[in-house]
Structure 1
Amino acid sequence: MTRHSVGPARLRARDPWRYRWTVLGVATFTQAAAGFFVGGLGALGVHLQRALDLSTAQLGLLVSAAQLVPLAGLLVAGELLDRYGERWVVGIGAGVVGVALGVGSLAPGYAALLIALLVAGAGYSTVQPGGSKSVASWFGASQRGLAMGIRQAGLPLGAALASAALPLVAEEFGWRATLLTGGFVALLGAGLFLACYRRPPVPPAPSAPPAPTAGEPSDTVAAQLRMRLRMVREPSTVKVMLSGTSLISVQYGVGILTVLHLHHTSSVGAGRAALILVAAQGAGVAGRICLAAWSDRSGSGRYTIVLVCMVAVIAGLVVLTTPAGRAPVAASVVFVWLGFFGFGWYGPWVAYVTEAAPPGKTGFALGLAMSVNQVAIVTMPPALGLLVDLTGSFTPAWALLALLTAVALAVTAKAERRVQDPGSSYHSV
């Protein structure tokens, strides 16, 4: 065998940890593929409103439908991941997304489309925590932030590609064809993950844990429940929940309202407005990678980067509430700014969650944090859309997001300054 014919299996045998970059690429692609269609809904806003006669609130409800089942599904997915591993849980989940979107292309109207997106959301429940857990298990702390940022960039990357492609598909073939396209892409992601993902090499066996004290079972339902309740009460969990829900609200608000704001407020054509959303989502890809890499080297910890993102997001949202926010050029620049920070926060945030989780509970910690985020994802898009419909203006929606982020910033910045209990199993990292 020549030097150039060495296959992946031989490479893994020589240095099995080199395969982590393949895992990272596969997890990133699967994330982008599974979230492709839903990520492009904002760019399809004008087309869907015309084709199905939708209000802004109804358009936001489509996003909520895709994110409703993960409210509980993320917790279930976290338990499945800890028990059965990532390969089949993520692969089957992404496959469900693809099949649901394919069936959804036959939907006779709005109600049936909502049901199809509900089913797709059930499958997607496994992809987000599963991909994060797969990357966290392959990368050490010195590279985990960068790797997690690259992997989490899959969501805005998929959304950017969808925002560029799906409006063209809708113009040429109609809105049903966009679901077929999204379903096909999701199935590609499922197949790739099933074919390529492998568990990391087994590390050296750790020293035996201390024996449990009398009256305290080591692996009972009661002990597991106490662990979960202790995690929920930890100050670091409160920080994760508050920052996550406020910033995810901004992320989905920008995703669903950018094109409509530019089209109706700044008189930008639907096609050009969609391209600006693509630019914002592209900035989000860069933000997730750059900010996560920064968190690897930040002496003040990963959560400080999240606080920086919150400050930047508030500044951008405030500009949108002023007359400058109605000027096409200024508004476009602000949306790209919000893309970088309002999407980029997720890289350091999810790395913080994985490192703060107790040993063996990474899947549950990710599922818990992401399920809390789902509350905001489900409620905010239709709420913001209804606010726009009732007021006839986008200014109240941007002001609401700025207020929510400011409150979360004030509370979590104070918590970050507190000295955490070093004996806690879920302390700041």
Structure 2
Amino acid sequence: MSARVVVRSSAALLAAAVIAQLSISALQQGLPALGPVLQQTFALQTSGTAALLGVGSLGTATAILFWGRLTDHTTDRLVALLGLLLTAVSLTIAGFAAMVGSLGGLVIGFVAAGVFAAAPTVALTKSIATAFQPINRMGLALGIRQSAVPLGASVAAIALPLIALRWGIAYALWSMAVALLIAALGVSRAVPGERRIARLDPLLPTPWAVIAPMLIASGLYTATQIGIVSLLSLYLVNARGWSTPAAAVVFAGVMVTAVVLRILLGLAIDRWPSWRLWTFKSIGFLTASLLVTAAITDPAPVAVFLIVSASVIGMGWNVVAFTLTISLVPHERVGTSQGVMNAIVFAAWGLSPIITGLLVQSFSWSVAWIALAFLAITGALIARTRSFFKQH
């Protein structure tokens, strides 16, 4: 296969992965922009709204290890397609539940969507590692793919509330289902469907002892990131008196800025691999500093700027952590190891808005910011790797 064909196929794969991530992120990170609408529609308290927004991620956490192991034993394309199609079906069902005012049906739809949305996340991560790690561009490729997370969230943050306010929550959910179907079409055309030829030599073991600190730290960073981002719109509307559309614009601005940050970080860690761990730690310390300062200065107007800044900086860790952990794991173990990592990440993702919402409701926003800062600092202190890369 010529170099031009390889580059073209790798670019097509990355484009398909970005489109898939855009659609998944509209669900996972754009959905919180519907928080105020869901709260008003179903007469929920802050903690109840946070729980509704978190159940999908708990569904993801319970299933992603299964999808990772399935990826290692089948093909990336099969797993990604199953996930995208079944997530679309789940959101369609959730839309009908919202239309008839069934909160229980909505919860079931969100949980099912979370379970199936886990599949393309881990499958396409492995596809990208396969295509780009040999040419030392995995950090950039993952940075571009992960930039789709805030980009998809920013588009959803503006579009979903507008759709929900004009036509209803059901149509907002169905619009995400349509995006998932479009992403499935791209994956079916661009992601290779064949399995790699089996190795004749024994597989290297997964170095759990080496990557465990990064897995734990990633979970703590996720809890911090999602604790801020998932409740940002509620904070601006309930605590600051902003309108829902204005809060959605700020949310979208956070996501767009995070796109640039993730791509730049991907370029940097490819150029200076020895800085990866230091970069990861710095993100945690800086995010914590912004949160503590916001808690101290609240309710001064500067607190809003500090929280928004913490939202952006707190989203930068992702590409660094994935690049670090993938680089230490044999290729045939990437699906399983990333399944474990993502299970931890999404468990934190699901629990964080629930716990943060309870802290806000029981105490104050400042107490919640301090608690999230503590998690970020702890993650930064725990994070470490041994200075070797996989030997195959």
TM-score, length basis structure 1: 0.84
Deviation digits for residues 164-216 of structure 1, max 9, x if unmatched? 1011111101122111111111121122211222269989x99x74xxxxxxx
Which of 99, 111, 116 aligns to 2:104? It is 111
Deviation digits for residues 97-118 of structure 1, max 9, x if unmatched? 1111011111132211110011
Which of 11, 31, 42 aligns to 1:21? It is 11
Q: Is the contact made by 2:28 and 2:57 (CA closer than 8 Å) also made in structure 1?
A: no
In 2: Cα distance, 1:421 partner to 1:284 partner = 29
Tell me, yes or no, if structure 1 residue 366 matches structure 2 residue 330.
no
- The match for 1:139 is 132
Q: Is the contact made by 1:286 and 1:340 (CA closer than 8 Å) also made in structure 2?
A: no
What amino acid is the match of 2:354? P
**SS of residue paired to 1:343:** coil
| Distance of aligned partners of 1:27 and 1:359 in 2 relative to their CA distance in 1, 3 Å threshold | closer
Q: Is the contact made by 1:66 and 1:118 (CA closer than 8 Å) also made in structure 2?
A: yes
In 2: Cα distance, 1:281 partner to 1:158 partner = 8
Tell me, yes or no, if structure 1 residue 98 matches structure 2 residue 91.
no
Query: Gaps spanning 5+ residues in structure 1: where?
Result: 1-10, 210-217
In 2: Cα distance, 1:316 partner to 1:12 partner = 49
Tell me, yes or no, if structure 1 residue 159 matches structure 2 residue 178.
no
1 or 2, which has the higher helix percentage? 2
Query: Gaps spanning 5+ residues in structure 2: where?
Result: none
1:23, distance to aligned residue in structure 2 (A): 0.9
* Identity across the alignment (%): 25
1:315, distance to aligned residue in structure 2 (A): 1.5
**SS of residue paired to 1:252:** helix
Quick check: which has more Rg, 1 or 2?
1
What amino acid is the match of 2:130? S
- The match for 2:348 is 376
Q: Is the contact made by 1:246 and 1:405 (CA closer than 8 Å) also made in structure 2?
A: yes
**SS of residue paired to 1:326:** coil
What amino acid is the match of 1:117? F
**SS of residue paired to 2:315:** helix
- The match for 2:219 is 245
Q: Is the contact made by 1:259 and 1:277 (CA closer than 8 Å) also made in structure 2?
A: yes
- The match for 2:40 is 50
Which of 300, 306, 325 aligns to 2:280? It is 306
| Distance of aligned partners of 1:97 and 1:372 in 2 relative to their CA distance in 1, 3 Å threshold | same
Deviation digits for residues 36-72 of structure 1, max 9, x if unmatched? 1332222111111111111111112123221123223
Provide the aligned C-alpha RMSD in A: 2.5
Deviation digits for residues 115-169 of structure 1, max 9, x if unmatched? 0011111211111111211111111352110110110112111111100101111
Deviation digits for residues 218-245 of structure 1, max 9, x if unmatched? 47xxxx9xx35xx33x1x3222122211
Give 1:214-225 correspondences, 5 Å limit.
218=202
- The match for 2:365 is 394
Give 1:75-94 correspondences, 5 Å limit.
75-94=65-84
**SS of residue paired to 2:332:** coil
In 2: Cα distance, 1:186 partner to 1:143 partner = 27
Give 1:262-341 correspondences, 5 Å limit.
262-323=236-297, 325-328=298-301, 330-341=302-313
1:367, distance to aligned residue in structure 2 (A): 0.6
1:375, distance to aligned residue in structure 2 (A): 2.1
| Distance of aligned partners of 1:12 and 1:109 in 2 relative to their CA distance in 1, 3 Å threshold | farther
1:425, distance to aligned residue in structure 2 (A): 5.7
Q: Is the contact made by 2:224 and 2:375 (CA closer than 8 Å) also made in structure 1?
A: no
**SS of residue paired to 1:15:** helix
Deviation digits for residues 275-320 of structure 1, max 9, x if unmatched? 1111111122112111121111125242222112111211221122
Q: Is the contact made by 2:282 and 2:380 (CA closer than 8 Å) also made in structure 1?
A: no
In 1: Cα distance, 2:51 partner to 2:239 partner = 22
What amino acid is the match of 2:305? V
Q: Is the contact made by 2:51 and 2:354 (CA closer than 8 Å) also made in structure 1?
A: yes
- The match for 1:405 is 376
**SS of residue paired to 2:241:** coil
